[in-house]
Amino acid sequence: MSEYNVLEMARQQLYNSARYLDLDDGLVAVLARPKRAVTVNFPVVMDSGEVVVYEGYRVQHNPSRGPTKGGLRYHPDVDLDETTALAMWMTWKCSVVNIPYGGAKGGVKVNVKELSKREIEKLTRRFASELNIIVGERSDIPAPDIGTNAQVMGWFMDTLSMQCGYTVPGVVTGKPIELGGSEGRVEATGRGVIVCAIEACHNMNLNFEGSRVVVQGFGNVGSVAARLAEREGAIVVGVSDASGGIYNPNGLPINELYEKYTGVDGGIQNYKDCEKVSNSELLELDCDILIPAAISAQLTAENADKVKAKLVVEGANGPTTPEADKIMHEKGILVVPDILANAGGVVTSYFEWVQDLQNFFWEENEVNDKLSKIMRRAYGEVAHVMREHNTDMRTAAMIIGVKRVADATIMRGIFP
């Protein structure tokens, strides 16, 4: 899908939900555009002494409900349109789970795999300096995304703190615990996915305990979701990573896979007591619950008809194309959409920010309990709107997400 289409797709989703809400055209025009988008070009002196100029962006979509929030991505395909679409989706995601943020996104067009650690640090510190004019703990709070991590957030926070003369931990989330990060943040997205899966099972009269689960992607989101699913009594029959999948209808030992087979050459493919499957075969395995937790556009017009799961819970962002959505809806498969299912990460980022602002830190079980409560409430609200409007769950989540932002925008009024 071209970059133009990503932004067009985000706008089409907005227009679609606006019809249910009968929103004024002028208001829709406000919501369809970002409030602020900044492009920066900045030089970095590489280890070789060569000067390379990088292009970076920060887009703040809508701050009506609070400061804007969203990740920083380091990837060669980063561009302004995609960053804008991702910022819009963050607005709806924060709104669906009802945390007081608008959406933002940012990134640098760079292949970090080609950079040394020192070069990534220099790039991050210069990028942070360039964004200093628009980010801040009360205005716009970045977080990790593709190509960035807790260490990058630590450098980002340190740079902005140096410039204002004191430590400002709340300016980014997803930091190391030692720098004001939150307990539970690393597992939060996978945990939220499983809360949604359990809630969906209740509504579908399906027993989560004993259900057969397949997880695509065994990284942060997928491995946590698989481990929690197993802990809650489900049988994880298939998992995969970029190198392919493994399947055992009697269940895979998820903890053993995580502890012994990740971070080593060959990864989960080294595990023997299973059948090897490709990533596309994995999505079509006989199971009750499918959790795509890897990359976008995995369930498409080509394979949606072959999905055997009754429930799909989107751990990844955008794993289902609009055509696949339609096919699965017609087949009676419930798809819990990304803006609800994977919102656990941003909810716990919100907790991290609240703890940083108060300088008062919570224990892990407190974080997890609060997260589960928010996810269950959001799930219930979306399920209610889905029944009320007789729609699929993605449309229902968008209706709630857009409505809260539209209401706030109207109540605040147009300045001056």
Q: What are 53's two structure tokens?
A: 């100029």
C-alpha dihedral (105, 109, 113, 118), degrees to nearest 10:
-90
Rg (CA), the chain: 21
Quote the least distance from Cβ 188 to ligand NAD, whole Å: 7
Query: Which ranges of 178-272 does DSSP label H, i.e. alpha helix?
Result: 188-204, 220-231, 254-261
Residue nearest ligand NAD, Cβ-based: 219
Select from 21, 52, 295, 408 the one that contacts ligand NAD (CB under 6 A). 295
Q: Identify any residues that bridge with 226 across adjacent strands, giving them in sequence order.
A: none
Per DSSP, the chain holds a count of helices (H) and strands (E) of 14, 12
Site pattern 258..287 for ligand NAD (x: CB under 6 A)? ---------------------x--------
- Contact between 297 and ligand NAD per CB under 6 A: no
**Residue of 234, 117, 314, 133 lying closest to 106 (CA atoms):** 133
- Contact between 368 and ligand NAD per CB under 6 A: no
Handedness of CA 333, 339, 342, 344 (dihedral sign): negative
Q: Of 105, 122, 175, 310, which one is the catalytic site residue?
A: 105
Nearer to ligand NAD, 216 or 409 (CB): 216
- Cβ contact 61:68 at 8 Å: yes
Q: What are 393's two structure tokens?
A: 């769950």
H or E element in which residue 211 lies: none
**Residue of 106, 110, 166 lying closest to 140 (CA atoms):** 106
Select from 293, 335, 378, 398 the one that contacts ligand NAD (CB under 6 A). 293
Quote the least distance from Cβ 220 to ligand NAD, whole Å: 4
Nearer to ligand NAD, 167 or 269 (CB): 269
Q: Which stretch binds ligand NAD (CB under 6 A): 36-44, 154-162, 218-226, 382-390?
A: 218-226
Q: Is residue 105 flagged as an active site residue?
A: yes
**Residue of 280, 213, 212, 274 lying closest to 244 (CA atoms):** 280
| Per rule CB under 6 A, count of chain residues that contact ligand NAD | 20
Site pattern 73..112 for ligand NAD (x: CB under 6 A)? ----------------------------------------
Q: State the Cα–Cα distance between residues 294 and 316, nearest whole angstrom.
A: 6
- Contact between 221 and ligand NAD per CB under 6 A: yes
* CB-based contacts of 221, cutoff 8 Å, min separation 6: 189, 190, 193, 293, 315, 316, 342
- Contact between 220 and ligand NAD per CB under 6 A: yes
Site pattern 307..346 for ligand NAD (x: CB under 6 A)? --------xxx------------------------x--x-
Select from 13, 83, 189, 395 the one that contacts ligand NAD (CB under 6 A). 189
Q: Which stretch binds ligand NAD (CB under 6 A): 79-87, 123-131, 238-246, 392-400?
A: 238-246
Select from 218, 258, 261, 351 the one that contacts ligand NAD (CB under 6 A). 218
Residues in contact with ligand NAD by the rule CB under 6 A: 189, 216-222, 240-242, 279, 293-295, 315-317, 342, 345
